[in-house]
Amino acid sequence: MPRAKNYSIVVDVGTTTVFAQILNLNECVVQACPGGQCDGTTLFALAEASDYNAQISYGEDVITRIVYSQRPGGLKKLQEVVVGTINGIIRELLDMSRIDRSLISHLVIAGNTTMTQLLLGLDPKFVRENPTFHGQLHSSRPGRPSGYRHR
């Protein structure tokens, strides 16, 4: 049986900005506050909010952040600050929309490979390194690879 009220928070973690919305899953419609104002009197007045990604203090681009992540404690710091940004935006969304956090059933987060790895605390160093393929594809028919053989 579907819940009477069922909401999701969706987050886009960008290199510069983190953007989020609350979606009404029962109506399956992206909803936003008209003119940025949520007064709680209309059905569609949920919320959207954004803030600068606090990782920007540690590098303005992904390569600089990858380099910073290789310092002792760097990866943990980058993860902490982006989680702090996301949590702040979620608090703002809940305040604006007046939705009780117990009604949020899903949190969906998207971002590019580096932003996702930093959020999850995964080492992104291989994103900036030159990929190397140590093998050959061989085929019984020219132009059509059929198998892999290590050199």
What average pLDDT does this structure show over 90-111?
Answer: 92
Q: How far is the C-alpha of 78 from the C-alpha of 12, rounded, in Å?
A: 16
CATH topology of domain 7-125: Nucleotidyltransferase; domain 5 (3.30.420)
What average pLDDT does this structure show over 110-123?
Answer: 94
* Coil, strand or helix at 115: helix
Enter the tokens of residue 150: 């290590």
Place of tokens 């030159």: 130
Q: What residue type is 20 in one-letter code?
A: A
Whether 116 has a pLDDT exceeding 90, the answer reads: yes
pLDDT in tens, 42-86: 444 378 899 999 999 999 999 999 999 999 999 999 999 999 999
Average pLDDT, rounded, for the chain? 81
Domain positions in the chain are 7-125
Q: What is the pLDDT of residue 148?
A: 43
Q: How far is the C-alpha of 9 from the C-alpha of 106, rounded, in Å?
A: 6
What average pLDDT does this structure show over 120-129?
Answer: 88
pLDDT, greater one: 104 or 40: 104
Beta-sheet pairing, 104-111 with 7-13: parallel
| pTM for this prediction | 0.74
**Apex 11 CA angle, 10 and 17, nearest 5:** 150
